[in-house]
């Protein structure tokens, strides 16, 4: 049972990393910076929403 959970978690992690990597490759630098400013900066006005 623990092994099954570990395999599922690993598969989901790989999928998330692959989606992030493919998204970053296709996104422009401006979109990445905009995303970082909106969602990762603590001082951003949108930070409290998520």
Taken as a whole, the chain contains a residue count of 50
Q: Kindly tell me if the per-residue pLDDT of 18 is higher than 70.
A: yes
**Three-point CA angle 42, 46, 50, nearest 5°:** 85
What is the value of pTM for the model shown?
0.44
- Give me the residue spans of the domains in the chain: 2-49
Q: What per-residue string of b and e applies to 23-47 under the rule 16 or more CB within 10 Å gives b?
A: eeeeeeeeeeeeeeeeeeeeeeeee
Distance CA 13, CA 22 (A): 14
Alpha helices in the chain (DSSP H): 2-26, 29-39
* pLDDT band, residue 46 (cuts 50/70/90): low
* pLDDT band, residue 7 (cuts 50/70/90): very high
Q: Kindly tell me if the per-residue pLDDT of 50 is higher than 60.
A: no
């Amino acid at each position: 049972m623990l092994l099954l959970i570990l395999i599922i978690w690993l598969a989901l992690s790989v999928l998330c990393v692959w989606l992030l990597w493919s998204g970053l490759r296709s996104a422009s630098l401006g979109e990445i910076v905009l995303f970082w400013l909106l969602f990762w900066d603590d001082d951003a006005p949108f930070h409290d929403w998520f």
